[in-house]
């Protein structure tokens, strides 16, 4: 008898698990058919919980009878009035218990519906926010493409403000501003406004700003007296094909943190390029195929920690390079470069760290003071 009881108990447990899984599967199937926010019918949950309650009650009752040795029930005539009232109370308690199960199932469903409604409200709010940001982006882009300079300046402010608010699409907004630098080279008011917006959000050389972690692709842009001094860049910085001119091009005390400075095919003409006391933290500095024409390149006091400083296939024409007091934990390479009446002065630096500097297969023509 005991083994049969345990078999019944095991079958009851399996039935409970099966009903739970069936209820969950019905709910998932209903949600897939009618949408994620919709729940399975409430009757399915109530029936499922009632069956579970019945099985639990049956298992509990069977276990109690087993412990009592499966006593025989007396005939109806043997029950007294008090016993009949007790049995009636037990029956009512059982009915109340099943009613409690129904109430529990209903409350559980209400909670699930409330949670689903809350999630739906949040999703709806996010969609509304995205729609609002999209409309703001469209309006700012229209202002940026306006014919009048005043409209374009207003567009710069609108796009920069949107970038501050729309964090998930901040890069897109900044890219739109940088695109205007390419399109509005002759509009100094607009370009200056954009560059000021960039500077204001790139922090200082001690602390990153809200835009510091973004990537800045300045490919093909012409800069006159560019000033990126005392800012922080933590994303990729690309000046490929760009042109720097004017009296001063400044990156003085700028911090490049774990990022790459790429200057491929960049030209520096009649300008002083100031990299004094600039800090490069564990990134790469690449000057590849660059042209230095009547330029002064000042890297005195610069600190470089990372993959190296490379000047590869660059042309120096009547230009001067100063790297005194340069601090390196990596390699400084000048390879396959052409120096025409130019001076690369790293003598003081060589005194400190001779092995870190490599000059390979360079062409020196009428150099004032060759390396």
Q: What is the pLDDT of residue 47?
A: 61
Query: Residue 366 — φ and ψ, nearest 5°?
Result: 50, 40
Length of the chain in terms of residues written:
371
Structure tokens at 267: 């030209």
Q: What is the pLDDT of residue 268?
A: 97
d(CA 203, CA 144): 25
Do 39 and 115 touch, CB atoms closer than 8 A? no
Strand (E) or helix (H) holding 250? strand 248-250
Do 164 and 137 touch, CB atoms closer than 8 A? no
The domain limits of the chain are 205-371
Where do runs of H (alpha helix) occur along 145-227? Answer: 149-165, 170-183, 188-200
Residue 106 has pLDDT above 90, yes or no: no
Task: Indicate the burial class of 154 (C-beta count within 10 angstroms; 0-12, 13-18, 19 or more).
Answer: middle
d(CA 101, CA 89): 18
Q: What is the pLDDT of residue 262?
A: 96
Task: Give, in order, the Cα–Cα distances in Å from 248 to each of 82, 259, 291, 296.
Answer: 107, 24, 16, 9
Lowest mean pLDDT among 29-43, 218-232, 308-322, 357-371: 29-43
Q: What is the pLDDT of residue 359?
A: 82
Strand partners, 138: none
Q: Identify the top-confidence range among 30-44, 91-105, 149-163, 337-351.
A: 149-163
pLDDT band at 178 (very low <50, low <70, confident <90, very high): very high
Q: What is the pLDDT of residue 28?
A: 46
Residue 140 has pLDDT above 90, yes or no: yes
Residue 241 has pLDDT above 80, yes or no: yes
Angle at 65 between CA 62 and CA 67, to 5 degrees: 110
**pLDDT (mean) for 64-93:** 60
Query: Residue 267 — φ and ψ, nearest 5°?
Result: -115, 140
Structure tokens at 82: 């008090």
**Residue of 64 and 179 predicted with greater confidence:** 179
Residue 160 CA, distance from chain mean position? 19
Note the pTM of the prediction, 2 decimals: 0.69
Residue 191 has pLDDT above 50, yes or no: yes
Strand partners, 248: 272
Contacts 24+ apart (CB under 8 A), 173-180: 173/137, 173/140, 174/198, 174/211, 174/214, 174/216, 175/217, 176/137, 176/140, 176/141, 176/144, 177/144, 178/216, 178/217, 178/218, 178/221, 180/144, 180/152, 180/156
Lowest mean pLDDT among 209-223, 307-321, 323-337: 323-337
pLDDT band at 313 (very low <50, low <70, confident <90, very high): very high
Q: What is the pLDDT of residue 275?
A: 94
Given CA atoms 119, 121, 125, 128 in this order, what sign does their dihedral have? positive
d(CA 159, CA 176): 8
Contacts 24+ apart (CB under 8 A), 215-220: 215/171, 216/174, 216/178, 217/175, 217/178, 218/178, 218/181, 218/242, 220/182
């Amino acid at each position: 008898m005991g083994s049969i009881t345990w078999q019944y108990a095991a079958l009851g447990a399996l039935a409970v698990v099966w009903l739970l899984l069936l209820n969950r599967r019905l709910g998932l199937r209903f949600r897939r058919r009618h949408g994620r926010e919709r729940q399975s019918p409430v009757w399915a949950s109530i029936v499922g919980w009632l069956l579970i309650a019945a099985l639990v009650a049956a298992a509990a009752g069977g276990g109690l009878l087993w412990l009592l040795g499966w006593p025989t029930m007396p005939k109806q005539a043997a029950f007294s009035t008090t016993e009949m009232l007790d049995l009636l109370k037990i029956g009512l308690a059982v009915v109340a218990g099943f009613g409690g199960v129904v109430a529990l199932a209903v409350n559980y469903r209400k909670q699930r519906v409330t949670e689903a409604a809350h999630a739906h409200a949040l999703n709806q709010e996010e969609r509304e926010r995205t729609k609002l940001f999209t409309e703001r982006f469209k309006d700012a882009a229209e202002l940026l493409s306006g014919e009048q300079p005043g409209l374009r300046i207003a567009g710069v402010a609108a796009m920069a403000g949107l970038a501050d608010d729309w964090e998930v699409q901040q890069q897109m907004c900044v890219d739109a501003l940088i695109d205007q630098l390419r399109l509005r080279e002759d509009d100094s008011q607009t370009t200056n406004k954009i560059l000021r917006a960039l500077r204001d959000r790139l922090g200082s050389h001690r602390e990153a700003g809200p835009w510091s972690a973004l990537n800045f692709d300045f490919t093909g842009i012409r800069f006159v007296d560019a000033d990126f001094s005392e800012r922080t860049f933590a994303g990729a910085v690309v000046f490929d094909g760009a042109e720097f001119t004017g009296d001063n091009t400044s990156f003085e005390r700028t911090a490049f943190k774990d990022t790459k400075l790429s200057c491929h095919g960049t030209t520096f003409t009649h300008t002083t390029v100031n990299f004094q006391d600039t800090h490069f933290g564990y990134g790469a500095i690449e000057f590849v195929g660059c042209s230095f024409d009547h330029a002064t390149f000042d890297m005195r006091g610069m600190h470089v920690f990372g993959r190296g400083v490379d000047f590869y296939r660059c042309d120096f024409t009547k230009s001067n390079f100063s790297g005194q007091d340069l601090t390196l934990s990596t390699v400084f390479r000048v390879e396959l470069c052409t120096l025409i009446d130019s001076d690369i002065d790293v003598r003081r630096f060589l005194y400190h760290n001779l092995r870190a500097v490599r000059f390979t297969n360079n062409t020196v023509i009428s150099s004032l003071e060759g390396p």
